[in-house]
Amino acid sequence: VYYLVGVDLGGTKIATALTDTDCQILKYDAVRTEAVRGPEAIIDQMVSEIRRVIEDLPKESVLGIGVACAGLIEPSTGKVLYSPNLDWRDLPLADMIARRLDYPIYVGNDVNMAALGELHYGAGIGKRQIVCVFVGTGIGGGIVIDGHLYEGANGFAGEIGHVTIDWDGPDCPSGNAGCWEGFASGTAMQRRTLAALDRGEPSMLAEMLHGDPSKMRVELIAEAAAKGDALARRIIAETGELLGAGCANLVNILNPERIILGGGVIRGVPELVDMVDAVVRRRALSDAVAGLDVVRARFGREAGVIGAAVLAKLAGKP
Ligand SMILES: [Zn+2]
C-alpha cells in the first residue's frame, strides 16, 4: 500500500493530509502558521506536521510530499520567489524541507494546486480544456490545456486576478491598476458595500455590523440578500456581472469546455455560479460558449492539500 502527503502552506494556516494514491484524505491536521517566527520556524512546524501524519508508516510506502504554497513559486526548483502572505522572498522551500525529510518534495502555487485537484479528482474529471477561477480575498486561477496545467514560460500562468478590466481603475497590490480582483473579489464586495453604506444607502447591513465596519464579511452580505436586502442583492448582482465579464474574457482567449468556480466567495454565495454562466453566455463569442458549462468546484478548504497530493503523485509534473 502506498501513500502521498499534501501540505497547504498559507499565511494563517498549515494544513497537512495523508492520502491514498487516489488522493483521498485518510488523515488531516491543521495548525496556525507561526508566521512571525520566520521561515526556519515555519518549515520546522510543517515538517513536524508531516511527521505526525506519516507516523510510523514504512518509509518506502510514502511516495512523495507535495506542498501548495501561496505566492509566486518557481516550479522547476520549488523556490518561493515571492509570497506576500508569508513575507518570503527567494526562499528555496523544497530544498529546506528536503534537508529535514528524506522524501521527494514538490512545491507548487496553492491556486494552481487547487486547479490540479479539480482536474484529476473534482469538477474537472473527464474534461481537458478547463479554466478554474477561485474567488476569495483575491481572484486566482488555474488554466488546464489538453489535460495539463498550463504553467507558462516561468510558472506564473493563471494570475487571472490581475488582468486589467479598467485602465483607470483602483491601484492593486500587484503594482497594476484596475485589476479584475479589485472589482470582483470578496475584498472588493466588502469595500463596495461599505462605500454604499457610507453614502447613506439604506440597508439592514448597517444594523448587522453593529457600527463596526471591520465585521463586514461576504457571508453577511449573503445573509442580508437572503432576507431581501436591496443593497446586498445589488452588490451580489454586480459581482455576478463583474465575475461574468472577466470569465467571458477568459472564454474568448482560451475557449475552455468548462469553467470551474471555487473559493470562499462562491461557497458563501453559490448563486453566483448561475449568474456568471448567464453573463458569459451574453458576453462571450457565441461560438466559444456553444460547448461550455460553468460549474462549482468540488473541493472547499481541502482543495490545497488534495492538489498538493496530486502534484506528489505526478512526481512534480502537472
Ligand atoms: Zn493586480
The string of DSSP letters for 154-217 reads TS-TT-GGGSBS-TT--B-TTS-BSBTHHHHSHHHHHHHHHHHHHTT---HHHHHTTT-GGG--
Rg from Cα positions in the chain: 20
Distance 179 CA to ligand 1 centre (A): 5
Report CA(266)–ligand 1 centroid distance (Å).
20
In our burial notation (b when 16+ CB lie closer than 10 A, e otherwise), range 210-221 reads: eeeeeebbbebb
Sorted by sequence, the CB contacts under 8 Å of residue 32 that are 6+ apart come out as 12, 13, 14
Q: Ligand 1 mean position to 49 CA, how many Å?
A: 33
Q: Are 6 and 27 in contact, with CB atoms under 8 Å apart?
A: no
DSSP conformation letters of 85-127: TTTEEEE-HHHHHHTT--S-EEEEEHHHHHHHHHHHHSTTTT-
CB of 93 within 8 A of CB of 69?
A: yes
Alpha carbon 59 to its chain's center: 31
Torsion-angle region of 78 (φ positive above 0: left; ψ -120 to 50: alpha; else: beta): left
Please say whether the beta carbons of 104 and 93 come within 8 A. Answer: no
Find the 182 Cα to ligand 1 centroid distance in Å: 7
* CB-based neighbours (< 5 A) of ligand 1, an ion: 162, 172, 174, 176, 179
The whole-number pLDDT of residue 155 equals 84
Task: Give 285's Cβ-side CA count (13 Å radius).
Answer: 10
Q: Are 64 and 106 in contact (CB under 8 A)?
A: yes
Find the 41 Cα to ligand 1 centroid distance in Å.
30
Query: Residue 94 Cα, ligand 1 centroid: separation in angstroms?
Result: 27
pLDDT reported for residue 154: 83
Phi, psi of 214 (to 5 degrees): -70, -10
Q: Does residue 259 contact residue 280 with C-beta atoms inside 8 Å?
A: yes
**Residue that has been written with the C-alpha cell 495539463 in this structure:** 148
Regarding beta strands 258-262 and 139-145, do their DSSP bridges make them parallel or antiparallel, or are they unpaired?
A: unpaired
What distance in angstroms lies between residue 155's CA and the mean position of ligand 1's atoms?
Answer: 17
> Residue 148 forms beta bridges with which residues?
145
Name the helix (H) or strand (E) containing 278: helix 272-283
Residue 144 Cα to ligand 1 midpoint, Å, equals: 22
**Three cell numbers at 213?**
465596519
Q: 83 C-alpha to center of ligand 1: Å?
A: 14
Cα 134 to averaged position of ligand 1 atoms, centre (Å) = 15
**What's the pLDDT at 127?**
97
- For cell 474534461, name the residue: 127
- What pTM value is reported for the model? 0.94
Consecutive sets of 10 residues in the chain, 318 residues long: mean pLDDT of each?
A: 96 96 97 91 96 95 96 91 90 96 96 96 97 96 96 90 94 92 96 96 96 95 98 98 98 98 97 98 96 97 96 94
> CA distances (Å), 164 to each of 139, 175, 177, 257, 302, in order?
13, 11, 7, 24, 30
Ligand 1 center to residue 298 CA distance, Å?
27
DSSP 8-state code for residue 229: -
Cα 72 to ligand 1 centre (Å): 14
Q: How far is the CA of 180 from the centre of ligand 1 (A)?
A: 7
d(CA 84, CA 86): 6
Task: For residue 201, report the distance from its CA to the centre of ligand 1, in Å.
Answer: 29
**Distance from Cα 207 to the centre of ligand 1, integer Å:** 32
